[in-house]
Amino acid sequence: MYKVKCLNPISEKGLDLFTSDFNVVEELEDADAVLVRSAGMHDLEVPDSLLAVARAGAGVNNIPLDEYAKKGIVAFNTPGANANGVKELVVAGLLLASRGIIDGANWVRANKDDENLAKTVEKQKKQYAGSELKGKSIGVIGLGAIGVLVANICNRLGMKVYGYDPYVSVRSAWSLSRMVNHSSSLDEIYEKCDFITIHVPFMDATKGMIDAEAVSKMKTGATILNFARGELVNQEAVLDGLDAGKLKHYVTDFPNAAVAQNEKVIAIPHLGASTEESEENCAEMAVDELMNYLENGNIVNSVNYPNCDLGNIESEARITVHHKNVPNMIGQLTGIIAGEGYNIVNMLNKSKGDWAYSILDIEKKLGKNIVEKMSEIDEVIRVRVL
C-alpha cells in the first residue's frame, strides 16, 4: 500500500485514478509521495520515506529540486496539461490590450444609474475605440506546449506570427503551423512585432530576459504579454518603457504593487491555469506519473532526475537505483548482480546533470544481499526493489 499526501486541494478526477493499492493520508510523515500545487516545500521537513513529489502544474519553484535529488526524491511536473487554459487567457490578454474593453466596461458600471445610459453610450464609445488583431504581428518567444498553441491560434486570428525557440522539440515542430515564421533571433521579434508573448521556463538564463536593451529594440507602441513567470521580465525596464511611451501595454498574469499602479498595465490575478479543465488535466497527469513511478519505477516528466521508462514490469524483479552521474557506476551495479548469480534481462540508464537513474530487470526474485551491496557504493543514493 502506497500512501499519498495532498498539500493542496487536488481535483477528485485525478485522485479517482488511484487504485486500491494507494491511500490518501492526512499526515505527511506517513507519506511515500506528495501531490502539490502551490504550497511551498522549501522549508518543509519531509520524512525519509518520501519517494516522490508531483506538482499538478508546470512551475516547480515551490519545490527544493536539488535537495530532493540528493535524497533520491523524484520531483515531477505536468507540462502541457494546462496549456489550453493558458492559451485562451493569452488570447483574452490580446483582446484586452487591443480594444478598450476594460475602460469601457468600467465606465458603464460607473454610470449604471444613468437613465439615459443607452443614448450616452453612443456618444461615449468613441473614447474606447481600439484596433483589430487581424493583420497585426506577434512574436511568440518559446515554442513549447503553450507557445505552439498560442502561435497556431494567433495564425487563425489572421495575425502574422513569428516564433523563436532555438531548442524547439521535434514534437512541437510537427505541431506548429507552417504559416508561422521562424525567427533566428530575438532581435527580429523585437523589431517586427506589435505584440510579444513569452512562454519560456524560468531559469538563470531567462531571468529578466526582457530588459531595458530588449525594450529599446521593440517597435514603438508594442505590447508585452507575460503568462509564463513574472521574473522573466525586468519590471523597472518595462515600467520605464510604458512611462516613456515606448510600450503601449504590459499584460501580466503576475501582478504586484508596483505594476498594478501603472495604468498601462493590465494585471490579471494569476488565472492562466485556473480553469476546472486545467486543474483536472494536471491532477490526472500527476497521479499517472506517481503511480507509474511507485509501481514500475519509471520516471516520466521529472525535473530533477532524467526521464527513464522501461515500461511495465514483466520480469520477476526490478531494481531501480538513484546515483550520482559518475564513471563505472553501471559496471559496479551489474558486477554485484552477476556476483550474486543473477541474470539481467533488460536495463536502462539515463543521466541528467549530476544525477543518474538506472532500471535493471532481473530474471528471478532477489535476496537482500543485492540491495545491501548496492547501497554501500558511495555514489548510490537510493535503491528500490519492485
From 286, 305, 324, give the residue that closes a domain: 305
Share of the chain above pLDDT 90, in %: 93
227 vs 199: CA distance, rounded Å? 7
SS (H, E, C) 112-172: CCCCCHHHHHHHHHHHHCCCCCCCCEEEEECCCHHHHHHHHHHHHCCCEEEEECCCCCHHH
Would you state the pLDDT for residue 368?
A: 80
Count of Cβ atoms closer than 10 Å to residue 132 Cβ:
12
In a domain, 128, yes or no: no
Residue identified by cell 526521464 is: 307
The answer to whether 157 touches 134, Cβ cutoff 8 Å, is yes
Residue 205 DSSP label: T
Would you state the pLDDT for residue 31?
A: 96
- 204 and 149 in one domain? yes
In a domain, 120, yes or no: no
In a domain, 124, yes or no: no
At 318, list the grid cell: 526490478
Average pLDDT of the segment spanning 3-16: 97
- 146 and 50 in one domain? no
Quick: pLDDT tens for 264-322.
999 999 999 899 999 999 999 999 999 999 999 999 999 999 999 999 999 999 999 99
The answer to whether 90 touches 84, Cβ cutoff 8 Å, is no
The answer to whether 45 touches 16, Cβ cutoff 8 Å, is no
- 174 and 184 in one domain? yes
206 vs 180: CA distance, rounded Å? 23
In a domain, 107, yes or no: no
Quick: pLDDT tens for 186-228.
999 999 999 999 999 888 999 999 999 999 999 999 999 999 9
Would strands 137-141 and 74-76 be described as parallel, antiparallel, or unpaired? unpaired
In a domain, 256, yes or no: yes
Would you state the pLDDT for residue 293?
A: 98
- 234 and 337 in one domain? no
56 pLDDT more than 90: yes
The answer to whether 27 touches 8, Cβ cutoff 8 Å, is no
Average pLDDT of the segment spanning 29-46: 96
- 23 and 49 in one domain? yes
Q: Which of 60-74, 126-140, 235-249, 360-374 has the lowest average pLDDT?
A: 360-374
- 295 and 236 in one domain? no
CATH number (domain holding residue 170): 3.40.50.720
98 pLDDT more than 90: yes
- 60 and 154 in one domain? no
- 227 and 89 in one domain? yes
293 vs 273: CA distance, rounded Å? 25
Would you state the pLDDT for residue 59?
A: 84
At 97, list the grid cell: 490590450
In a domain, 110, yes or no: no
Would you state the pLDDT for residue 169?
A: 84
pTM of the model: 0.84
- 65 and 212 in one domain? no
Q: How many domains does the chain have?
A: 3
Confidence of residue 170 (pLDDT cuts 50, 70, 90): confident
Q: Is 79 helix (H, G, I), strand (E, B) or coil?
A: coil
22 pLDDT more than 90: yes
249 pLDDT more than 90: yes
In a domain, 116, yes or no: no
- 183 and 277 in one domain? no
Provide the β-strand partners of residue 161.
Answer: 138
Which DSSP string corresponds to 1-31? -EEEEESS---HHHHTT--TTEEEES-GGG-
In a domain, 125, yes or no: no
Which strand ranges, in their side-by-side order, compose the sheet holding 33-36? Answer: 22-25, 2-6, 33-36, 52-55, 74-76
- 278 and 258 in one domain? no
Those residues with Cβ within 8 angstroms of residue 118's Cβ, 6 or more apart along the chain or in another chain: none
Give the residue from 107, 109, 101 showing the smallest Cα distance to 124. 107
Q: What does the mean pLDDT of the chain come to? A: 96
61 or 242, which is more confident: 242
Please enumerate, as own/partner, the contacts of 339-347 that have beta carbons within 8 Å and a separation of 24 or more: 340/367, 340/369, 340/370, 340/373, 342/366, 342/370, 345/315, 346/310, 346/315, 347/310
Those residues with Cβ within 8 angstroms of residue 72's Cβ, 6 or more apart along the chain or in another chain: 51, 322, 381, 382
Cα separations in angstroms, 65 against 55, 60, 270: 12, 8, 23
Give the domain range for residue 250.
83-96+136-267
- 296 and 199 in one domain? no
CATH number (domain holding residue 371): 3.30.70.260
Quick: pLDDT tens for 326-351.
999 999 999 999 999 999 999 999 99
